[in-house]
Amino acid sequence: MAIMSFCLYIGVIRHNIFEIISIGTESAMDHIREGFILIDEDNNYLSSNPAALEIFPGIKGLMKGDSIFSAPGWPGELKGLEGDVAEFPIGAEDTRYYKASISPVLAKNTNLIARIILIREITDNVNLMKELESAAYLDALTGLYNRKHFTKLAMVDIERALRTDQTIYAAMLDLDFFKKVNDTYGHAAGDSVLKVTAGIIRQTIRSYDLLGRYGGEEFVLMITNLDLEEAHKLMERIRENMEHCITNYEDKEIKITCSIGLAEFTENDTLETSVKKADEALYVAKKSGRNRVQVYGSTSPFYV
């Protein structure tokens, strides 16, 4: 009898211990900030914590035994759960980024019996990396390629154009009397003009034309697959759009024009020599009265 009572006591104690462990585990899962999802070896849903439900609201509609892949909004990056780590975005406009760590649950005989998926948000890290990457190749003010990255991309464009026997043109654009804008309205107004200029050029050229900020108020372009007349007309459209544009800054209307130098890339050219020729043509355009397009080697301010 005493032995039976002792065994019963031990059984109750063990039952209580297991119950305490279960309750404690559930309570811990409810309070951790990481999303927790438990699935069986066949990727069927077993349980999750509130943090996981916030990340994947579609899980709320799952019953135990339903495929986790049937949850609405389940990311494609988590369609295969054999890997250790997966990163994925959620949302279109206000995109959030997450990292999932997938751990197997093994029986004593090492057979897979379940998987634990832990999800944590990494949005701040992803955004920081994007900012660092952008800083490496984009001009902070205009959002255009900086001079260093433009040079790298231009080399690729040149190699491709030469390989496919396409024409190449370098163009240099400079704002006329830009110093006067800074002196009259201040450098913040000058920054606004530079941003507007970048937008005008970007909207005027083709999507695959290469554009960068060369420095100060100078912009550089690399144009391919046009003949000389077409390339000149494209530069003229930029010049005209700049001439008719007004930058509004603190209730002031600022108008400014630009001068452009255009040079064809020849078989003896390099990127440096072609840009230098465009810069020389730009110098002629400015000396000839500004607000015009000058083709390198042409005796007249405008190419006909």
H-type helices in 116-168, by residue range? 123-137, 147-163
Q: What are phi and psi of 261, to 5 degrees?
A: -110, 135
CA 222 to chain centroid, in Å, comes to: 22
259 to 150, 234, 239: CA distances (angstroms) = 20, 13, 7
77 flagged as catalytic: no
- CB burial of residue 179 (10 Å; 0-12, 13-18, 19+): exposed
Tokens of 72: 């609405």
Q: How far apart are CA 264 and CA 167, in angstroms?
A: 8
Active-site residue (options: 217, 218, 243, 280): 217
Q: Which amino acid is at 19?
A: E
Q: How far apart are alpha carbons 289 and 169 in whole angstroms?
A: 23
E-strand ranges in 216-257 read 218-224, 246-249, 252-255
How does DSSP classify residue 80?
-
Of 280, 288, 205, nearest to 241 by C-alpha is 205
The residues near 292 (Cβ < 8 Å, ≥ 6 apart) are 239, 259, 260, 285, 301, 302
DSSP one-letter code for 146: P
Give the residue numbers marked as catalytic: 217
